[in-house]
A and B are shown apart, each in its own frame.
Chain A
Amino acid sequence: MKALYWFSFILTLGLLATPVQGETQLPEPQKAGIEIMEKEQQAFYSPGKDMKAEIRMELITAAGEKRIRVLTMLRWNDPKSKDQKYFLYFREPSDVRGMTFMVWKYPLKESDRWIYVPAIDLVRRIAASDARSSFVGSDFTYEDVSGRNISADTHTLIREEKVGDRDCYLVESVPKQPIDYVKRISWINKITFLPLKEEYYDVQNQLARVFTADKIEEIAAPEGAGRKSFPTAVRRTMKNLKTGHRTEVTLTSVSYNVALQDNIFTERYLRNPPERWIK
């Protein structure tokens, strides 16, 4: 009797393991989908060893009222893993000026986030389990800003299509866990792998949000002994079609491979922002 129990137990384990093996044999369009999205994440969220940029966000209501967010962003890619660290220094509006925000992002688990409020010299850990929360009140979510875990979605290459005169892959990404959208369609430039357009469909399967990369610039930076050019979406828009609200982002003073060090992304510099990098 006992032997039968163990036999069935082992059999169950074996059955559980089977689908894991099966995952390596994805249909061709899904395999291509994942490959493209991996390249897209590399091109869009982690080009270079590090990055520094001035970011200006205009939050515009349907009635045309504007609010402005200005910040300096530093990003560092961990050469030993796929981890990334972000440091944000807020300049505008005046009530958040001098605040700093730090994110340690991991490919497979929830990010660690800290905020520093200079007026009370307070460092806080932020409990943000919801990566779908809006970033500083804009139409972008935290995930839109720093990238969504690739394995959280099923990606399928649907077809190839042109956006303007640029050839693109059209990839459909369906979240495995239910979130605020059921489907994202991305138009990814076949050469640069930057997303030129993304459409987000809500739970009613209606088009709810649209992202567009409005201006791409080639940013040259040192790489090894030579120089390399990093295509960068320096103007981006996210529009909420349901509310008419949109956020326009402009990146200026973008530079890559500026030799940022890991130690910038610590409580020391959160409290005392590194003048050299945020000037």
Chain B
Amino acid sequence: MRRSVYGGLLILGIFLLFLIENARAVSAQVQAEKEQEGDETQTGGSSGGTSKKWKSFLETLPFELHGFLEARGGLRTQDDPHEPKTATLGETRLQLNLFKALDWAKFRLKSDFLYDGVAEGASVDLREANAILTPFEFMDLKVGRQILTWGTGDYIFINDLFPKDYKSFFIGRDDEYLKAPSDALKASLYTKILNFDLVYTPRFNPDRFIDGKQLSYFNPQLGRLAGDDAVIYPRKRDEWFEDSEIAFRLYRDIESYGLALYGYNGFWKSPMGFDPQAGKATFPRLSIYGLSARGKVWKGIGNVEMGYYDSRDDRSGNDPFVPNSQFRFLSGYEQELAKDLTMGVQYYLELMLDYGAYNRTLPRGSHAADEYRHVITLRLTKLLMYQNLKLSLFTFYSPSDKDVYMRPNIHYKITDHWSAEAGANIFFGEKDHTFFGQFQNDTNVYLGIRCGF
């Protein structure tokens, strides 16, 4: 961890030196141009001048450079007996996004450099470092660290087993951070009849799951809420090629309806298993087969997606420490209700297979999960002031778990560069052990300000 921070800081250092060197050349150039132009009137006054200079500087670089600088803070709205800190978020983040297109390949390097006041340390989050090649007319290859997404759900993923960062999601980082990067090879084949994506991850990329640091959770072994006092350190799956993941998608459009078949072979992405001898959480083996369809329905867009989760380490359902196989189903509908007001609803079902075996083998005193977990979501988005102000509310409600997760957010684009946002992550639940109910002490509010370039 520490080594990667130093490595990152070194990259940043070299980068900044390079920028300063370029900036000098550009400012001289801009100065010269200005003298030629005479004084051209500009709206926005002196700040317009600076941003113009900065822009021409960016344009002289031999690659595209973009990014942002952001400050973000958040706090828990109630005390949490399992977490020592009230703050859930307090970070300064610089994102640099470099892109270069050559005739034979495209390269992208995108990295976040952050100082995290809650974890009390600097860190580097290399988001992307990849090359896209087109070896044949009908084929694209994307190699390296990349963000991957597919499927039709809105914040609900059935066939998308690429790593998620639930911690970032629950503490109010930008939506971008719900997706964690994969170190993978993605091969895409395109034909007139079908398109095919194959993603090979040579070494397992788990979720950035809720481990007890910063956010408290329900620990089934302890049978209670836990946090900093019971941080999860799962048994790693980090053998190259042995702990590999493979995912594919076959898809095509028929009359602008997107149809897809999916497959996955790998592991539960969060440590859902437990090894009672070692007392460690584990990532049991998992395969998934699924399908989805999406397209116009009535006045909006409808989608359905389903997947069969084959929990290969517990096919009989008799092992209480490994999740049973499941069937997951999602159906959604989104429509623009009025000008700049959009509503999306989803129904999600998680059906535990071999429920009898699960119930029989469940250790005495444990909280039994339901055979059917139903979740309904509602998204409302309203754009105002020439779409510069966005009000949104996303709600998860599970009538079977009797818990709720709400994500209100207000985002304002102050100018083309500056934006500010505020929001909350609100959890309710009747019981401590349900999916959202376990986070009831983690309810938090956050604020952020960002300058993009």
Contacts and interface: CB of A to CB of B under 8 A. Distances in A.
Contact of A59 (B68, B386, B417): B386
A70 B131 CA distance: 26
Given A121-B148, A267-B195, A130 B43 contact: no
A64 B43 contact: yes
B452 A94 contact: yes
B416 A137 contact: no
Contact of B335 (A65, A66, A127, A138): A127
A242 interface: no
A66 B43 contact: yes
A272 B195 contact: no
Contact of A125 (B188, B301, B339, B388): B301
Contacts of B334: 127
B250 interface: no
Interface string B330-361: 00001110111010100000000000000000
Nearest to A126: B301
Contacts of A245: 386
A133 B336 contact: yes
A115 B452 CA distance: 21
A121 B149 contact: yes
Interface string B374-387: 00000000010011
A125 B68 contact: no
B49 to A, nearest CB: 14
Interface in B76-108: 99, 101, 106
Interface in B56-81: 66-68
A225 to B, nearest CB: 28
Nearest to A68: B416
A134 B256 contact: no
A128 B336 contact: yes
Contact of A129 (B66, B67, B300, B388): B300
A112 to B, nearest CB: 4
A232 B18 CA distance: 43
Contacts of B44: 66
Interface stretch (B202-210, B273-281, B291-299, B434-442): B291-299
A272 B132 contact: yes
A13 interface: no
Contacts of B339: 130, 132-134, 180
A275 B106 contact: yes
Nearest to A120: B179
A127 B387 contact: no
Interface string B419-448: 100000000000000000000000000000
A120 B147 contact: yes
A45 interface: no
B188 A268 contact: yes
Contact of A95 (B251, B300, B419): B419
B335 A129 contact: yes
Interface string B282-320: 000000000000111001110100000000000000000
Interface of A: 59, 64-68, 92-95, 97-98, 104, 110, 112, 119-123, 125-130, 132-134, 136-138, 180, 245, 263, 266-268, 272, 275, 279
Given A67-B416, A112-B256, A125-B258, 10 more contacts: A95-B68, A98-B99, A110-B296, A127-B301, A127-B336, A128-B336, A129-B335, A267-B195, A268-B188, A268-B195
18 contacts: A65-B43, A67-B388, A92-B416, A94-B68, A94-B416, A95-B413, A95-B419, A120-B149, A123-B149, A125-B301, A129-B300, A129-B335, A133-B340, A134-B339, A137-B386, A137-B387, A137-B388, A268-B188
